[in-house]
């Protein structure tokens, strides 16, 4: 599979006049967009579950208060409440869907990393084999926007989550080759698109309710 991806990138580079940078962007975008229906489905499912869990907080608080001196009964009572309302503390199907994507991204990540080793300059970047500060800044901006527009069950914690995502991304990216930065930029752009779709879903639902 890794050899197939490497061959595909070489063919894409030929289409882009030998530019490995455009080949990386095209392949990364194609893979992420192909997986977008799955990731949107999982995100919508998780968001719906978060809403149910949030709506049950008063009842959960009552159970905790009522069974404070009987902790062995607390978890079964909470589990029964969630089950009766169609909520899950751990959504196994969503977890499985996320895990199924890991091999795809892992192979793509490795193939792009190998392709970038022998790549030359691209746009303003002197080499795809070395880190680029401007590209890192673009990825961080896309990451921040994606996190900002992602609907949250806890709006008061949304800013904190955005900061955490940006810091973690910066920590990972600052030493990565620009080839991997291009992959990350394409992935972040699709994540931003997904956040926009989810935000639109949220507004449409709110409009229907009102």
pLDDT truncated to tens, each residue of the chain (210 aa)? 556 666 777 777 777 777 788 888 888 888 888 888 888 888 888 788 877 878 888 888 888 888 777 878 788 888 888 888 877 766 665 566 666 666 666 666 666 666 655 667 788 888 788 888 889 899 889 888 888 888 765 566 667 777 888 888 888 888 878 888 888 898 889 988 988 888 887 777 766 665
Residue 94 lies in a domain: yes
* Residue 125 φ then ψ, to 5°: -80, 130
Alpha-carbon distance of 30 to 183, in angstroms, equals 11
Alpha-carbon distance of 178 to 165, in angstroms, equals 20
Residue among 50, 60, 79 at smallest CA distance from 161: 50
Residue 104 lies in a domain: yes
Residue 112 lies in a domain: yes
Quote the pLDDT of residue 47.
Answer: 80
* Residue 122 φ then ψ, to 5°: -155, 125
Identify whether the C-beta of residue 151 lies closer than 8 Å to the C-beta of residue 47. Answer: yes
Residue ranges of E strands in 34-179: none
Residue 120 lies in a domain: yes
Residue 210 lies in a domain: no
Residue 208 lies in a domain: no
Residue 59 lies in a domain: yes
Which tokens belong to 77?
């009572």
Work out the burial of residue 60: count CB atoms within 10 Å of its CB; fewer than 13 is exposed, 13-18 middle, 19 or more buried: middle
29 to 25, 136, 188: CA distances (angstroms): 6, 18, 10
Residue 209 lies in a domain: no
Quote the pLDDT of residue 131.
Answer: 83
Which tokens belong to 136?
């890192």
- Helices 92-117, 178-209: axis angle to 10 degrees equals 150
Exposure string over 141-159, b if 16+ CB within 10 A, otherwise e: ebbbbbbbbbbbeeeeebe
Query: How many structural domains are present in the chain?
Result: 1
With helix as H, strand as E and coil as C, how does 94-121 read? HHHHHHHHHHHHHHHHHHHHHHHHCCCC
Work out the burial of residue 51: count CB atoms within 10 Å of its CB; fewer than 13 is exposed, 13-18 middle, 19 or more buried: middle
Question: What is the span of the domain harbouring residue 64?
Answer: 2-203
Is the pTM here over 0.85, yes or no? no
């Amino acid at each position: 599979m890794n050899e197939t991806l490497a061959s595909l990138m070489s063919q894409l580079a030929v289409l882009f006049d030998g530019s490995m940078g455009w080949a990386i962007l095209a392949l990364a975008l194609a893979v992420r967009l192909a997986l977008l229906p799955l990731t949107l489905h999982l995100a919508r499912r998780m968001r719906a579950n978060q809403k149910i869990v949030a709506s049950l907080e008063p009842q959960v608080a009552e159970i905790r208060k009522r069974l404070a001196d009987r902790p062995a009964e607390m978890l079964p009572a909470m589990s029964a409440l969630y089950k009766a309302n169609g909520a899950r503390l751990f959504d196994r199907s969503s977890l499985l869907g996320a895990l199924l994507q890991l091999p795809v991204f892992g192979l793509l990540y490795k193939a792009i990393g190998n392709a970038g080793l022998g790549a030359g300059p691209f746009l303003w970047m002197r080499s795809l084999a070395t880190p680029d500060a401007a590209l890192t800044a673009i990825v961080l901006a896309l990451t921040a926007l994606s996190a900002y527009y992602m609907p949250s069950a806890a709006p008061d914690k949304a800013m904190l989550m955005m900061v955490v995502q940006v810091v973690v991304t910066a920590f990972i990216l600052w030493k990565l080759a620009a080839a991997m930065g291009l992959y990350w930029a394409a992935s972040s752009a699709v994540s931003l698109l997904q956040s926009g779709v989810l935000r639109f879903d949220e507004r449409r639902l709110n409009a229907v309710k009102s």
